[in-house]
């Protein structure tokens, strides 16, 4: 009986609320939303016909019931799946949250580059130019490289280098450097995909420069060194320095390539000691280095190849270069980020570099201000909620500096009527979502990875989640 009260789709479409939504979102989107809401009402009526007191009883009530839910239903269709998130996990380069946030100058350049730009146009000559020269001058200035080129990520950079320089020939690498990065992506797989032949030497924990020399032959294309960025081997270990491998490469006229993974342009003693600097690797004799643009550099996703001009020129000319190239927006953001380093202000203006240098005392001060705001907003209705400040540790993430911990101060939240998982879920479902972490049964927020202009949003979100 009650099923008959659900109006037809056409009747619903002719009503004013639906007409307004159709004008905003289009006919097809409206029809889909109407059908889904009408089906949802029928399902609710059929599931428990005895509980009709909370459901419509007439056709007009049914239409109103559907119309009340239409805006959220239709807006959900058009809502972007990529959402802004407040990262309160304390993981600086959180891969699942997009790694490095961009500097404000990079964001401004993204907007500038959203229209027509001189991507492949020489403004002086009025003729076609080359896209792969963008950012090269800054990269060479900052690293000491003779030339540089940019592709879409570091894995692509390694693949391209090996394809150009070693396809069909042997690449010598230490067994202890055959690493796997996120998503099951392994160095041996990249080697095979490039057409190169893997020649591993040494053992997992000990490799000497003599091990490299023992297998060099006329089939050898290059010597590859891979920084084991997401793990650390300790104890009975030995690994030759890059300068030793470079000397061996010079002796046999072989290129030496180092995959730095993250790499960095700005040293931070005591924190980034385990991460090789790009300029240091080139100075030590590497002919080419590859590294990520969106990790410690703090720019957009990109893979950078820098080093000897002759080798970079060969890479530029390979057909695979076109398949792996980056777009104008990535170039704009990368060049702006590099500009911050060139101006010697990246420690303050590039977010990941600034986060690395935050002192626990500064984080503590911000955490206490948020604590006071949340307590003031919740104490009357939720007196049993506990908010405390505790010592903790931030991590760099993104496969960078494994084992390094940055002392921090955590805002810990405990609500007797809410589990930590439920509280975390509530925070994730706010707008903007706040992503925290759970430690020892408590929800904790690390403000190291929260921008200062997001503190008010975090306080408001916590108060709302605890309501």
Dmax over CA atoms of the chain, in Å, equals 91
- What is the total count of domains within the chain? 3
Residue 373 is predicted with a pLDDT of: 94
Task: State the angle between helix axes of 187-194 and 154-166 in degrees (0 to 180), rounded to the nearest 10.
Answer: 40
What is the rounded average pLDDT of the residues 100-117? 97
Q: What is the mean pLDDT of residues 202-219?
A: 90
What residues contact 325, with CB distance under 8 A and at least 6 apart?
Answer: 131, 132, 150, 151, 152
Question: Residue 360: which domain range?
Answer: 86-92+356-465
Rg for the chain, CA atoms, rounded: 28
Q: Is 350 left (phi over 0), alpha (psi -120 to 50) or beta?
A: beta
Predicted pLDDT at 348:
96
Residue whose C-alpha is closest to residue 176's, from 184, 187, 167: 187
Residue 414, in any domain of the structure: yes
pLDDT of amino acid 251: 96
Last residue of a domain, one of 327, 349, 371: 349
97 found inside a domain: no
Q: Are 136 and 207 members of one domain?
A: yes
* Whether residue 227 sits in one domain with residue 108: yes
Q: Where does 94-196 show beta strands of DSSP type E?
A: 121-122, 127-128, 147-151, 170-174, 180-181, 185-186
Average pLDDT over residues 387-414: 89
Domain assignment present for residue 99? The answer is no
Buried b (16+ CB within 10 A) or exposed e, 241-276: ebebbbebbeeeebbbbbbbbbbbbbebeeebeebb
Q: Which residues neighbour 44 within 8 Å (Cβ) at sequence distance 6 or greater? A: 55
Is residue 273 located within the same domain as residue 138?
yes
Q: Is the same domain home to 40 and 126?
A: no
Query: What's the rounded mean pLDDT across residues 290-310?
Result: 96
Distance, in Å, from the CA atom of 264 to the CA atom of 24, rounded to the nearest integer, reads 47
Confidence of residue 184 (pLDDT cuts 50, 70, 90): low
**Picking from 2-11, 64-73, 457-466, which range would have the lowest pLDDT averaged per residue?**
2-11
Over residues 305-363, the pLDDT tens digits come to: 999 999 999 999 999 999 999 999 999 999 999 999 999 999 999 999 999 999 999 99
- 141 has a pLDDT exceeding 90: yes
Same domain, 157 and 112: yes
Q: In angstroms, rounded to a whole number, what is the distance separating the alpha carbons of residues 283 and 409?
A: 38
Is the same domain home to 307 and 225? yes
| 261 falls within a domain | yes
| pLDDT tens profile 8-45 | 999 999 999 999 999 999 999 999 999 999 999 999 88
* Average pLDDT value for residue range 62-77: 92
- Per-residue pLDDT band at 404 (split at 50, 70, 90): confident
pLDDT band at 279 (very low <50, low <70, confident <90, very high): very high
Residue 387's pLDDT band (cuts 50, 70, 90) = very high
Same domain, 190 and 272: yes
In a domain, residue 32? The reply is yes
């Amino acid at each position: 009986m009650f099923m008959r009260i659900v109006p037809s789709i056409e009747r619903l479409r002719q009503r004013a609320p639906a007409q307004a939504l159709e004008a905003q979102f289009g006919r097809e989107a409206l029809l889909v939303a109407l059908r889904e809401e009408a089906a949802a009402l029928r399902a609710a009526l059929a599931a428990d016909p005895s509980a009709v007191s909370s459901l419509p009883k007439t056709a007009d009530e049914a239409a109103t019931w559907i119309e009340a839910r239409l805006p959220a239903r239709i807006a959900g269709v058009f809502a972007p799946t990529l959402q802004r998130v407040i990262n309160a996990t304390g993981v600086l380069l959180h891969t699942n949250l997009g790694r490095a946030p961009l500097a404000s100058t990079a964001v401004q350049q993204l907007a500038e580059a959203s229209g027509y730009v001189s991507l492949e146009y020489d403004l002086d000559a009025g003729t076609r130019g080359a896209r792969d020269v963008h950012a090269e001058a800054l990269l060479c200035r900052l690293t000491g490289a003779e030339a540089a080129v940019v592709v879409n990520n570091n894995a692509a950079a390694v693949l391209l280098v090996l394809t150009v320089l070693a396809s069909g020939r042997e690449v010598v690498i230490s067994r202890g450097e055959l690493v796997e990065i996120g998503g099951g992506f392994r160095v041996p797989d990249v080697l095979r995909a490039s057409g190169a032949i893997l020649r591993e030497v040494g053992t997992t924990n000990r490799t000497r420069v003599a091990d490299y020399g023992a297998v060099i032959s006329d089939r050898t294309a290059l010597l590859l060194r891979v920084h084991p960025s997401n793990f650390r081997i300790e104890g009975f270990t030995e690994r030759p320095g890059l300068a030793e491998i470079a000397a061996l490469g010079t002796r046999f006229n072989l290129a030496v390539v180092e995959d730095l993974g993250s790499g960095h342009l700005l040293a931070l003693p005591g924190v980034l000691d385990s991460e090789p600097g790009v300029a240091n690797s080139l100075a030590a004799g590497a002919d080419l280095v590859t590294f990520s643009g969106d990790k410690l550099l703090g720019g957009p996703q990109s893979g950078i190849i820098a080093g000897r001009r002759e080798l970079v020129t060969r890479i530029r000319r390979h057909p695979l270069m076109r398949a792996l190239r980056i777009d104008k927006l990535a170039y704009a953001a990368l060049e702006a980020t590099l500009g911050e380093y060139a101006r010697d202000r990246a420690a303050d203006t590039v977010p990941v570099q600034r986060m690395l240098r935050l002192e626990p005392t500064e984080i503590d001060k911000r955490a206490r201000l948020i604590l006071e705001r949340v307590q003031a907003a919740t104490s009357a209705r939720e007196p049993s909620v506990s908010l405390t400040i505790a010592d903790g540790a931030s991590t760099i993430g993104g496969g960078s500096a494994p084992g390094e911990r940055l002392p921090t101060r955590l805002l810990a939240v405990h609500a007797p009527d809410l589990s930590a998982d439920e509280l975390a879920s509530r925070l994730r479902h706010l707008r903007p979502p706040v992503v925290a972490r759970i430690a020892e049964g408590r929800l904790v927020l690390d403000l190291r990875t929260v921008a200062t202009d997001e503190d008010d949003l975090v306080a408001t979100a916590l108060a709302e989640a605890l309501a």
